[in-house]
């Protein structure tokens, strides 16, 4: 997960619960209200199930842009409304594409309604009067490999962290897969990253309107996980979606459009469900491209060129990131070939880091965890420190029986999110340690957002030998600090390749 403030910090992560709040009161007179330039918004007040004496104001499903947007077009300004906007319920997610049934079962349970009418955000506000200047704002960008995800998932209910840390939490939808990142040559390069443009539109909306909800527009921290963490820095490898776009147009019968029409016009008229069916059948993948407007070069290059925002950063990974993702990967040999290219000696050296009796799934999980997450995050953090940015790093290594989607998942990719948001399952498997760890992580994220210059409560990278905070259940409920080499020792096998390939 990564966190960083707008024009100040970022929270990254390279994290299914029950909704943690229940409505109280139904009359308009008892409902919280905000007055915006576009019109009046009426939300709802909810009580935390875990802490009944705490309440939070929820404003759900507010349009941050015209919705539905025109397909394959940049987001436009929202249309003002004449009657009060009912912000008491969640709006649909954007259309999702799941590359495997396993991921669908983990990340789409229960499945939310989906629609192109999806450019909405949700705001969670403490019920207490805001401090001078307003509440600190946490702006959440969900993950999902830019193929899937939604701001309305139960895990992202911001009620608990808003109430416990007295911050405003914003969660957003944005277009994903081909709807968010079309590869048509008929679209100008700088207009193809529609999903990233949606995120920026939502952030601009927050800057303009959050004061009406008690938030401070000058104190906004962006935090996100996986693709959301990537989005918070928006520097990455150059990809091309044009080949997959051509497959899509051919399968839809749009490769030879009518006279006076284009392939783009043809695809724009096809029902969304037909498009998703082809994505699923053909395994088509659409991600951000480098346009030097919404997405720049590699982060390390941006740091050297002074193009990266100089803001405080909180960044971290989980101990078993690859456990639920290994099924999507090719064989371990192919994974190492991609990492090391023609460098057979380095490939063999990396293979020697792992026991020879591992199953293929276990080996793929370790390679993915070590190279793509632990060591790439370490390189990213070091690059930021080298440019005099203040960076705090953490490592999540806790697993609980009520949050294991597959046997042996461990501290799997995204498993820290329910603890940060306080949305972990509460059932007969919930442990006291889980509750304590959630409180500690909420406090760290809240402290970082409120005073990013002083950090989340442990040593800044480079200021101490023990500058890595480990969140586990070792007995210290607030986490423990240690030397980064405790988790980075494996990076001796990957650092050179990471530097050569770019990050």
Tell me the C-alpha to C-alpha distance, in Å, between residue 28 and each of 40, 47, 253, 375, 409.
Answer: 12, 17, 51, 52, 45
Phi, psi of 136, deg, nearest 5? -60, 145
Rounded to whole angstroms, the Cα distance separating 469 from 220 reads: 23
Listed in sequence order, the DSSP H helices in 213-343 are 227-233, 242-251, 263-269, 272-282, 299-304, 332-340
334 CB burial (10 A radius; 0-12, 13-18, 19+): exposed
How would residue 16 be classed by pLDDT, with cut points 50, 70 and 90? Answer: very low
Length of the chain, please? 503
Q: In this predicted model, what pLDDT tens digit does every residue of 97-106 receive, in sequence order? A: 999 999 999 9
pLDDT value at position 234?
A: 67
Name the least confident of 104-118, 133-147, 284-298: 284-298
Q: Residue 257: is its pLDDT beyond 90?
A: no
Mean pLDDT throughout 344-361?
A: 97
Q: What is the CATH number of domain 2-241+285-397+404-501?
A: 3.40.50.1820
Q: Sign of the CA dihedral 73, 75, 77, 83?
A: positive
- What is the distance of C-alpha 225 from the center of its chain? 3
Describe the strand order of the beta sheet including 40-42 as a list of residue ranges: 33-35, 40-42, 85-86
pLDDT value at position 237?
A: 62
pLDDT value at position 28?
A: 57
Q: In this predicted model, what pLDDT tens digit does every residue of 127-178 receive, in sequence order? A: 999 999 999 999 999 999 999 999 999 999 999 999 999 999 999 999 999 9
Q: In this predicted model, what pLDDT tens digit does every residue of 442-496 receive, in sequence order? A: 999 999 999 999 999 999 999 999 999 999 998 777 899 999 999 999 999 999 9
pLDDT value at position 19?
A: 30
| Beta partners for residue 10, in sequence order | 4, 313
Q: Which residues contact 403 (CB under 8 A, 6 or more apart)?
A: 415, 418, 424, 425
Supply 268's token pair: 């724009």
Supply 7's token pair: 């024009």
pLDDT value at position 259?
A: 64
Mean pLDDT throughout 348-364?
A: 97
Mean pLDDT throughout 219-238?
A: 86
Q: Which residues contact 83 (CB under 8 A, 6 or more apart)?
A: 39
Q: In this predicted model, what pLDDT tens digit does every residue of 362-405 receive, in sequence order? A: 999 999 999 999 999 999 999 999 989 999 999 999 999 999 99
Rounded to whole angstroms, the Cα distance separating 227 from 393 reads: 18
Q: Which of 142, 321, 365, 399 is catalytic?
A: 321
DSSP string for 479-499: -EEE-THHHHGGGGGTHHHHH
pLDDT value at position 238?
A: 62
Mean pLDDT throughout 496-503?
A: 89
Q: Which of 142, 346, 413, 415 is catalytic?
A: 413
Using DSSP, how many helices (H) and how many strands (E) does the chain show? 17, 16
How would residue 306 be classed by pLDDT, with cut points 50, 70 and 90? Answer: confident
Catalytic residue status for 360? no
Catalytic residue status for 226? yes
| Beta partners for residue 34, in sequence order | 41
Name the least confident of 79-93, 128-142, 288-302, 479-493: 288-302
Q: Residue 299: is its pLDDT beyond 90?
A: no
Q: Which of 46, 150, 226, 438 is catalytic?
A: 226
For the chain, give every domain's residue range.
2-241+285-397+404-501, 242-284
Supply 317's token pair: 């990974």
pTM (two decimals):
0.93
Q: Residue 18: is its pLDDT beyond 50?
A: no
Average pLDDT, the chain: 92
pLDDT value at position 190?
A: 94
Phi, psi of 237, deg, nearest 5? -65, 150
Q: In this predicted model, what pLDDT tens digit does every residue of 396-438 receive, in sequence order? A: 999 999 999 999 999 999 999 999 999 999 999 999 999 999 9
Beta strands in 95-237 (DSSP E): 120-125, 135-141, 168-172, 215-224
Rounded to whole angstroms, the Cα distance separating 420 from 15 reads: 9
Q: Which pairs from 235-239 meet CB under 8 Å and 24+ separation?
A: 235/295, 235/296, 235/297, 235/298, 235/299, 235/301, 235/302, 235/307, 235/308, 236/288, 236/290, 236/295, 236/298, 236/299, 237/290, 237/298, 237/502, 238/289, 238/290, 238/297, 239/287, 239/288, 239/289, 239/290
Whether residue 175 contacts residue 194, with contact meaning beta carbons closer than 8 Å, is answered with: yes
Whether residue 221 contacts residue 283, with contact meaning beta carbons closer than 8 Å, is answered with: no
Supply 9's token pair: 């910090």
Tell me the C-alpha to C-alpha distance, in Å, between residue 347 and each of 243, 337, 342, 423.
Answer: 30, 7, 9, 41
Tell me the C-alpha to C-alpha distance, in Å, between residue 384 and each of 312, 447, 462.
Answer: 9, 21, 11
pLDDT value at position 7?
A: 42
pLDDT value at position 8?
A: 40
């Amino acid at each position: 997960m990564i966190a960083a403030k707008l024009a100040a910090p970022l929270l990254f992560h390279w994290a299914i619960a029950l909704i943690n709040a229940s409505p109280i009161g139904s009359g308009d007179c008892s409902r919280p209200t905000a007055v915006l330039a576009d019109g009046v918004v009426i939300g709802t007040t909810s009580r935390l199930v875990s802490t009944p004496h705490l309440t939070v104001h929820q404003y759900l499903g507010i349009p941050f842009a015209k919705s539905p947007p025109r397909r394959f077009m940049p987001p436009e300004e929202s249309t003002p409304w004449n009657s009060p906007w009912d912000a008491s319920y969640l709006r649909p997610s954007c259309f999702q594409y799941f590359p495997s049934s396993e991921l669908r079962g983990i990340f789409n349970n229960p499945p939310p309604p989906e629609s192109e009418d999806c450019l909405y955000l949700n705001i969670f506000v403490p019920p207490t009067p805001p401090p001078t200047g307003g509440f600190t704002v946490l702006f959440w960008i969900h993950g999902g490999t830019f193929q899937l995800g939604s701001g309305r998932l139960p895990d992202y209910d911001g009620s608990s962290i808003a109430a416990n840390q007295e911050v405003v939490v914003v969660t957003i939808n944005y277009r994903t897969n081909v709807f968010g990142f079309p590869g048509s040559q008929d679209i100008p390069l700088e207009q193809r990253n529609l999903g990233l443009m949606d995120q920026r539109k939502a952030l601009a909306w927050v800057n303009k309107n959050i004061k009406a909800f008690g938030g401070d527009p000058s104190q906004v921290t962006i935090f996100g996980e996986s693709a959301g963490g990537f989005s918070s820095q928006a520097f990455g490898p150059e990809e091309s979606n044009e080949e997959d776009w051509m497959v899509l147009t051919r399968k839809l019968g749009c490769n030879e459009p009518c006279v006076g029409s284009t392939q783009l016009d043809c695809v724009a008229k096809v029902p969304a469900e037909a498009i998703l069916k082809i994505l699923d059948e053909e395994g088509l993948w659409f991600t951000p491209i480098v346009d030097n407007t919404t997405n720049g070069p590699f982060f390390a290059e941006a740091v050297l060129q002074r193009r990266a925002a100089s803001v405080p950063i909180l960044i971290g990974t989980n101990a078993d990131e690859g456990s639920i993702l290994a099924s999507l990967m090719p064989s371990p040999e192919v994974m190492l070939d991609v990492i090391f290219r023609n460098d057979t000696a380095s490939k063999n050296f990396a293979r020697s880091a792992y026991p020879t009796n591992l199953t293929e799934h276990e080996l793929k999980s370790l390679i993915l965890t070590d190279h793509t997450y632990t060591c790439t995050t370490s390189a990213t953090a070091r690059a930021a420190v080298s440019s005099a940015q203040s960076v705090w790093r953490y490592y999540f290594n806790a697993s609980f029986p009520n949050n294991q989607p597959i046997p042996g998942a461990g501290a799997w990719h995204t498993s820290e999110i329910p603890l940060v948001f306080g949305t972990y399952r509460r059932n007969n498997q919930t442990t006291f340690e889980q509750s304590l760890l959630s409180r500690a992580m909420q406090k760290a994220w809240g402290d970082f957002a409120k005073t990013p210059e002083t950090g989340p409560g442990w040593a800044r990278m480079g200021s101490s030998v023990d500058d890595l905070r480990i969140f586990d259940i070792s007995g210290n409920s607030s986490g423990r600090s240690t030397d980064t080499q405790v988790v980075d020792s494996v990076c001796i096998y990957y650092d050179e390749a990471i530097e050569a390939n770019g990050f």
